[in-house]
Amino acid sequence: MIKYFILISGLLFAGTPTVESIQDSLITRFNRIEDYSVKIKVSVKMTGLRMPRKKIKLYYKAPDKVKVKSRGFAILPKTGLSGSPKQYLKMLDSVRVSGNDVLNGRNHWILFGSVNPDSIDIDLDEKDFPNIKMRLWVDTESWVISKAETVIDSQKVFKLISEYDEVDGVFLPIKTILSIGFKGMGKWSMRDPFGGPGADRQEIEDLAKDSGINPEKKEFAGTVVMEFSKYKINQGLDDSLFEE
């Protein structure tokens, strides 16, 4: 294994890998997966929303087919759901290696770049788009993205942290926590899915205030926790499974 070193001052030695080599390592490792299925337990704690813990089943087939089977209503993030690093990498422009960090005792390179506005499904004013930045923490041994963080100026839009385990020779997430910031949801509205078809929509900020929460002082509007189990990898899933 190649060893990378950092000066105490935070300046990187010439051994810092290029953005391209990090991206290639991420994609090459994930491309060992042709398809998989997995069971997921989803828990949501979000301002103004009540959702019981759900069990779903997810199917993935390279390069980008995803199918989710669930009984009833469930909230799931689009980005990062399949575990593919390509979902993150294609969102970024002007990417650079911004440093090195240690998460849970493991070394990570940090990729930093501007988010392409067309790639992020959040209702934001156009003036905010040039300021959307993303950091990706890339494990230097298993070549997975352990953490992703998107910010507008200094305010967090979302933060995603994943724990991985090796399954049949490849690393896949076993737990993912997505924290959604008020900056990203401030202009969203939501209808209680259990309130019936006539339930009124309310803005997230109003829901927060009704719950006694001050959005100006609280960083995150809510979290989605996903726990993965019983992976089945490279089964030869048929394309018809992913048809609507």
Query: What single DSSP character describes residue 126?
Result: G
- Structural domains of the chain in order of their starting residue, each with its CATH number: 19-235 (2.50.20)
For residue 34, the one-letter residue type is: E
Across the strands, what pairs with 61? Answer: 35, 65
Size (the chain), residues: 244
Q: Which two tokens stand for residue 45?
A: 């704690």
Q: Are 45 and 223 in contact (CB under 8 A)?
A: yes
* pLDDT at position 173: 93
Query: Which of the four pLDDT bands, split at 50, 70 and 90, describes residue 233?
Result: very high
Q: Across the chain, what does the average pLDDT equal?
A: 77
- The answer to whether 132 and 150 have CB atoms below 8 angstroms apart is yes
Q: pLDDT tens, 11-55?
A: 444 478 999 999 999 999 999 999 999 999 988 887 666 667 888
Query: What is the model's pLDDT at position 126?
Result: 57
List b or e across 96-107, with b for residues whose CB sees 16 or more CB atoms inside 10 angstroms. Answer: ebebbbeeeeee
**Tokens coding 19:** 């953005």
Cα separation, 54 vs 86, in Å, equals 27
Q: What is the pLDDT of residue 25?
A: 95
Does residue 155 sit in helix, strand or coil? strand
Cβ–Cβ under 8 Å, residues 204 and 48: yes
Q: Classify the phi-psi angles of 19: left when phi > 0, otherwise alpha if psi is within -120 to 50, otherwise beta.
A: alpha
